[in-house]
């Protein structure tokens, strides 16, 4: 099938590349000329395991091209994916200007029946809005269908998630467009991927509801962790005891500094906002957002109590991206935490395996180190903010000998409190008092 | 091993019987003489599939005894389970008076090393309290263990025999070994026994129930949003439930959670946190949503009848807080009955198991504003509308023609989303459920 993907960010590039891997002819379109020029030179603008090889392969085999020419791409495609950004407005609602602009341009470029698929995360009602725009702006009354096909991939395992999704959600209004979408996803039938077919509104809501629920699990366990700190229980035991219940599941029950990234913060606020606009108070999500904001403050307080006064201290920060295996710094907890530490008068030496470049744009006035040991060198304390695998088995003796004093605040519970105590570290983590011993 | 289980309610009776079934000698103790006498006669006071056969078998095999004599039970046992009720206090915290009373008796009658196991759901720190209470009355050595129970009413036997996990909070090696061997027969399939400190074990029970309650309140809020947005919560449920990180269980929308555990445990956890100056925001929201959810279907009914249901009669299917149990504690059906009768309506209710519970709860009101009926279709006689409150299997495929013929107004209010809106539309029955667009235009819930 001939398809195009408009917006070549995380989602657009992965979607386009994977569909070309399935054997389709794909044009990836972006307005960012620099990005398209890079991609045409074989440079991948984002860090995503496995993506570069897959792009190279499909470009070489002639199924994947990059372009800034939206009109030409639409003319040559039956299915048009819209995967542009939907950043939050000031009030937390999703900014739809890119989606609407693309809808207009697509309409003006139509030369026959088209299936216009929203892959961006958009509020309920956007599918209808896109239909209206296309109806107003299209030439020659060409017929078309609007589909909502929210994307569930995770940065860091995006290709794998796209190729082996838990499910595919298709919100549509005509059987013809459903048939075309099912055909596109038919390679996934082999792995028996469930396909949920529903109306536009429900499909749009599914994406927000799923993210909001996952965010709820995170905030839930963070509250339990803070409570464990109060009462001297161990959140990992509690989480394990809970997670083994099939109805709960063990995933997303890891305490930490709160969720960040380009999706959870934005989608939770947008969902609560969509309710509020219609006079509906989404109490749980409001609480989830509040708890997440509070969690960063709790972490800052934890650092302060563990280290004492920060004035004049050198703090080594390990991990900056909002989660491991990505260079994405959007709404990363590290940003708020580092800002507070700087305000307290600390000097920050930071290391992240891949996100340092992006971090530098947001935080130009901290020192970026080349590895963990340089970060530890001369530090009064080390703070783990992202649980990159390479932080999991560090040479603790060496770290200790490099540091001015052996103090570690581990916001991802990477290490065992008892072991750290044995090594002679003053050690704080999230929801795990040393007294609640591990058997 | 010789075991006694003090408190022979849902949990105590099931635990005692299952331990007897794996070869232990078990004495089930209760202060309620009537209960003990009827158990001795082979009458099981609760409805629980498979339980009465199992009790009979183990009584016959002389491994299971019932008694009111806590003294000899304590003296003869190596392990003593406390499984008495921990009802909510007025402020929502768990009332520990029964637990501590039992601890006192255990302390008083102790004659050697005992493992005292808390099976009741108790707030963090109770193991220490029980320990202190026993210590006041004895010099014998003992260990207090926290071993929260995760069984579900309606599937209690199966849950106990095949648990997802066993949680044991213990700070004493000897007691840990005894508990491990006691539970070994139930985890032969490889399910884990999690040993941890007692506070973590106590918290695990509350945290697990609170997360399940969170799932329910979450989907209920999504359902209400679906009503407003014109989305279909049943599709949203499928769309999110297929995510392995979310899972498909416990995201069924309805009229709010009830029962003897969720409401009480959620409140108790909020309370314990407050006592430690910590505010659990999500769980508080979960509770608030649940209260609100109990009015959603009431509002749909009132909207349909233009706010006036004075003199109307409603047929109600389902009283128990969930199917396969006769338990009506905190059942949404109670709130529904109270809301409707307060507005001058009458009810004709049927439930396959919970009628005698309902008789007990509603007392004099039965016969005046509330009729209780043995047969589901009898409830429809002379009724204006049908309300479905519990998803018993027997309600899933009813004779819609008969329903339509019997009802004065052809309308069903379904708190459990049992029926297909399209099918009822074809049958020309007005149909309102939770979070699903219907053919009648939306009735917006009021908040
Ligand atoms: N990143 C994720 O993990 C993820 C996962 C699921 C869903 N989503 C959703 O997918 C959407 C895209 O997210 P992303 O992370 O890929 O965003 P992104 O910011 O990485 O990429 C968006 C791209 O769209 C381009 N663009 C903007 N306006 C355009 C226009 N008029 N014409 C052509 N191109 C245009 C931008 O130049 C940019 O390259 C968002 O709605 C997001 O919420 C993201
Ligand atoms: N019912 C459930 O599904 C369930 C599931 C898990 C945990 N739990 C928890 O288990 C505990 C017991 O719950 P239940 O539903 O079995 O309660 P229940 O009310 O059915 O039974 C409690 C029994 O304890 C007896 N009792 C009270 N004081 C006593 C005393 N001093 N000595 C001897 N017996 C006494 C009562 O007479 C009653 O028979 C509670 O803490 C509850 O939260 C219940």
Residues A191 and A106 in one domain: yes
Domain membership of residue B235 (yes or no) is no
Structural domain contains residue B437: no
- A263 is a catalytic site residue: yes
Q: Report, as an integer, the average pLDDT of A418-431.
A: 95
Report CB contact under 8 Å: A280, B228.
yes
Q: Point out the ligand 1 atom lying closest to the alpha carbon of residue A84.
A: 24
Instruction: Output the pLDDT for position B392.
Output: 97
Inform me whether the pLDDT recorded for B63 exceeds 50: yes
B210 belongs to a structural domain? no
Dist. CA B125–CA B199, nearest whole Å = 6
Give the pLDDT score at B439: 45
End position of a domain, from candidates A198, A215, A241: A198
Same domain, A250 and A177: no
| Same domain assignment for residues A279 and A184 | no
What is the CA(A107)–ligand 1 centre distance, in A? 20
Q: By the CB < 8 Å criterion, does A231 face chain B?
A: yes
Q: Which residues of A touch B197 (CB under 8 A)?
A: 233-234, 237, 435-437
- Confidence label for B154 from pLDDT (cuts 50, 70 and 90): confident
B157 and B47 housed in the same domain: yes
Reported ipTM exceeds the 0.85 cut: yes
* Mean pLDDT value across residues A400-413: 97
What is the rounded average pLDDT for all residues in chain B? Answer: 95
Quick one: A157 and A99 in the same domain? yes
Q: A144 with A17, same domain?
A: yes
Residues B65 and B185 in one domain: yes
B364-379 pLDDT per residue, tens: 999 999 999 999 999 9
B196 to A274: CB separation less than 8 angstroms, yes or no: no
**What's the pLDDT band for B225 if we cut at 50, 70, 90?**
very high
Mean residue pLDDT across chain A:
95
Same domain as B302, residue B191: no
> Could you tell me the sign of the dihedral formed by the alpha carbons of B319, B324, B329, B332, in that order?
negative
Asked if residue A176 is part of any domain, the answer here is yes
Confidence at residue A91, expressed as pLDDT on a 0 to 100 scale: 86
Q: What is the pLDDT of residue A93?
A: 86
User: So what's the pLDDT on residue B67?
Assistant: 98
Domain assignment of residue A210, yes or no = no
Same domain flag for A8 and A156: yes
Banded model confidence at residue A434, pLDDT cuts 50, 70, 90: low
Of B136, B168, B196, the position where a domain reaches its end is B196
Q: Is residue A353 part of a domain?
A: yes
| Global pTM exceeds 0.95 | no
pLDDT beyond 70 at A188: yes
pLDDT of residue B340: 98
Q: Which tens digit of pLDDT belongs to each residue from A252-298?
A: 999 999 999 989 999 999 999 989 989 999 999 999 999 999 999 99
For residues A263 and A333, membership in a common domain is answered with yes
Q: How many angstroms separate the alpha carbon of residue B341 from the centre of ligand 1?
A: 54
Residue B68 forms part of a structural domain = yes
Interval A55-84 mean pLDDT: 98
Q: How far apart are CA A95 and CA A21, in angstroms?
A: 31
Say if A344 falls within a structural domain: yes
Phi and psi at B414, nearest 5°, equal: -115, 110
pLDDT band at A435 (very low <50, low <70, confident <90, very high): low
Judge whether residue A144 has pLDDT over 70: yes
Residue of A188, A242, A259 for testing the chain B interface, max B β-carbons within 10 Å: A242
Confidence band, pLDDT 50/70/90 cuts, at residue A438: very low
- What percent of chain A stands above pLDDT 90? 93
A143, A173, A198 - which closes a domain: A198
Domains in chain A, number: 2
User: What's the whole-number mean pLDDT along residues A315-320?
Assistant: 98
Question: A171 and A259 share a domain?
Answer: no
Residues A45 and A182 grouped into a single domain: yes
Q: Confirm if B259 and B153 have CB atoms less than 8 A apart.
A: yes
- Domain with residue B372: its CATH number is 3.40.50.720
Give the closest of B197, B240, B280 to A436, CB-based.
B197
Residue A139: pLDDT band (50, 70, 90) is: confident
**pLDDT mean over A22-27:** 98
In a domain, B277, yes or no: no
Q: Binning pLDDT at 50, 70 and 90, where does residue A90 land?
A: confident
Q: Which ligand is nearest to the CA of B149?
A: 2
**Domain shared by A154 and A237, yes or no:** no
Task: Determine the pLDDT at residue B89.
Answer: 87
Q: Is residue B171 included in any domain, yes or no?
A: yes
Residue at which a domain ends, from B159, B177, B196: B196
pLDDT digits (tens, 9 = 90+) for A215-253: 999 999 999 999 999 999 999 999 999 999 999 999 999
| Ligand 1, atom nearest to A8 Cα | 39
How far apart are the CA of A286 and the nearest CA of chain B, in angstroms? 8
- Domain's final residue, options B175, B196, B217: B196
Range of the structural domain that residue B165 is part of: 2-196
Residue A174's pLDDT is what?
94
pLDDT band at B446 (very low <50, low <70, confident <90, very high): very low
Q: Where in the sequence is the domain holding A288, given as residue range(s)?
A: 232-428
Residues B304-326, mean pLDDT to the nearest whole number: 96
Q: What's the CATH code of the domain at A84? A: 3.40.50.720
Domain termination site, one of A198, A218, A253: A198
Give the chain B residue nearest A238 (alpha carbons).
B204
pLDDT at residue B440 greater than cutoff 60: no
Is B444 exposed, middle or buried (CB count within 10 Å of its CB: 0-12, 13-18, 19+)?
middle
Number of domains comprising chain B: 2
For residue A226, is it within any domain? no
For residue B438, what pLDDT band results from cuts at 50, 70 and 90? low
CB contact under 8 A, A246 and B164: yes
Do the domain assignments include residue A212?
Answer: no
Q: Decide if A62 is inside a domain.
A: yes
Tell me the pLDDT band of B157, cut-offs 50, 70 and 90.
very high
């Amino acid at each position: 099938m001939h398809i195009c993907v408009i917006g070549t960010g995380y989602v657009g590039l992965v979607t386009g590349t994977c569909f070309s891997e399935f054997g389709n002819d794909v044009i990836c379109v972006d307005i960012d000329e620099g990005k398209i020029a890079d991609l045409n030179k074989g440079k991948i603008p984002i860090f995503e395991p496995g993506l570069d090889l897959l792009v190279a392969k499909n470009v070489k085999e002639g199924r994947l091209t990059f372009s800034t020419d939206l009109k030409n791409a639409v003319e040559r495609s039956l299915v048009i994916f819209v995967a542009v950004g939907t950043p939050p407005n000031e009030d937390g609602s999703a900014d739809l200007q890119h989606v609407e602009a693309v809808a207009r341009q697509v309409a003006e470029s139509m030369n026959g029946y088209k299936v216009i698929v929203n892959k961006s995360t958009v509020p309920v009602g956007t599918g209808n809005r896109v239909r209206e725009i296309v109806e107003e702006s299209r030439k020659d009354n060409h017929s078309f269908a609007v589909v909502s096909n929210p994307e569930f991939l995770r940065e860091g395992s995006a290709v794998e998630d796209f190729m082996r999704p838990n499910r595919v959600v298709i919100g549509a209004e005509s059987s013809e467009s459903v048939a075309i979408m099912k055909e596109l996803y038919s390679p996934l039938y082999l792995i028996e991927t469930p396909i949920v077919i529903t109306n536009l509104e429900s499909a749009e809501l599914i994406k927000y509801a799923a993210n909001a629920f996952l965010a709820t699990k995170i905030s839930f366990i963070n509250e339990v962790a803070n409570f464990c700190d109060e009462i001297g229980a161990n959140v990992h035991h509690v989480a394990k005891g809970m997670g083994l219940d099939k109805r709960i599941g063990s995933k997303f029950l890891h305490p930490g500094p709160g969720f960040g990234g380009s999706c959870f913060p934005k989608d939770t606020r947008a969902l609560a906002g969509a309710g509020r606009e219609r006079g509906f108070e989404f109490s749980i999500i409001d609480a989830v957002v509040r708890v997440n904001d509070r969690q960063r403050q709790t972490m800052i307080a934890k650092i302060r109590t563990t280290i004492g006064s920060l004035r004049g201290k050198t703090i080594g920060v390990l991990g900056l991206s909002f989660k491991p295996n990505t260079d994405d710094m959007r709404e990363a907890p590290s940003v708020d935490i580092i800002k507070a530490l700087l305000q307290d008068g600390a000097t920050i030496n930071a290391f992240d395996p891949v996100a340092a470049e992006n971090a530098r744009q947001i935080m130009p006035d901290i020192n970026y180190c080349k590895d963990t040991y340089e970060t530890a060198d001369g530090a009064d304390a080390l703070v783990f903010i992202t649980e990159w695998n390479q932080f999991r088995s560090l040479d603790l003796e060496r770290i200790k000998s490099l540091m001015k004093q052996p103090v570690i605040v581990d916001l991802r519970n990477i290490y065992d409190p008892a072991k750290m105590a044995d090594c002679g570290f003053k050690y704080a983590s999230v929801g795990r008092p040393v007294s609640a011993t591990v058997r | 091993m010789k075991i006694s289980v003090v408190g022979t309610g849902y949990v105590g009776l099931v635990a005692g019987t299952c331990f007897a079934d794996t070869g232990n000698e078990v004495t089930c103790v209760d202060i309620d003489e009537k209960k003990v006498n009827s158990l001795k006669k082979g009458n099981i006071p609760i409805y629980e599939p498979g339980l009465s056969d199992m009790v009979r078998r183990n009584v016959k095999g002389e491994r299971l005894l019932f008694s009111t004599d806590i003294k000899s039970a304590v003296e003869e046992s190596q392990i003593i389970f406390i499984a008495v009720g921990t009802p909510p206090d007025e402020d929502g915290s768990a009332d520990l008076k029964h637990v501590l009373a039992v601890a006192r008796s255990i302390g008083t009658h102790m004659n050697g090393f005992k493992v005292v196991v808390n099976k009741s759901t108790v707030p963090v720190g109770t193991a220490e309290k029980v320990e202190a209470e026993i210590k006041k009355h004895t010099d014998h050595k003992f260990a207090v263990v926290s071993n929260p129970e995760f069984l579900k009413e309606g599937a209690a036997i199966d849950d106990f025999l095949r648990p997802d996990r066993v949680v044991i909070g213990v700070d004493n090696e000897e007691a840990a070994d005894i508990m491990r061997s006691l539970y070994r027969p139930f985890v032969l399939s490889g399910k884990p026994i999690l040993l941890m400190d007692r506070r973590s074990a106590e918290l695990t029970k509350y945290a697990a129930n609170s997360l399940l309650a969170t799932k329910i309140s979450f989907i209920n809020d999504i359902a209400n949003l679906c009503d407003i947005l014109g989305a279909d919560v049943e599709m949203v449920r499928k769309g999110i439930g297929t995510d392995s990180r979310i899972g498909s269980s416990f995201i069924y929308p309805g009229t709010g959670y009830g029962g003897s555990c969720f409401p009480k445990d959620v409140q108790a956890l909020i309370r314990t946190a407050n006592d430690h100056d910590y505010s659990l925001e999500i769980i508080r929201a979960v509770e608030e949503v649940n209260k609100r959810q109990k009015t959603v279907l009431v509002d749909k009914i009132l909207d349909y009848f233009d706010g006036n249901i004075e003199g109307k009669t409603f047929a109600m299917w389902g009283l128990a807080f969930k199917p396969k149990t006769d338990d009506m504690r905190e059942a949404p059906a109670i709130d529904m009955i109270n809301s409707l009768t307060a507005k001058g309506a009458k009810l004709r209710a049927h439930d396959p198991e919970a009628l005698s519970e309902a008789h007990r709860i509603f007392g004099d009101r039965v016969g005046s504003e509330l009729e209780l009926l043995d047969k589901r279709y009898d409830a429809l006689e002379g009724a204006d509308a049908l309300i479905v409150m519990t998803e018993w299997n027997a309600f899933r495929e009813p004779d819609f023609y008969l329903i339509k013929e019997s009802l004065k107004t052809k309308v069903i209010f379904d708190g459990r989303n049992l029926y297909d809106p399209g099918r009822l539309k074809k049958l020309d029955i007005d149909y309102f459920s939770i979070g699903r667009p219907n053919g009648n235009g939306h009735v917006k819930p009021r908040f």
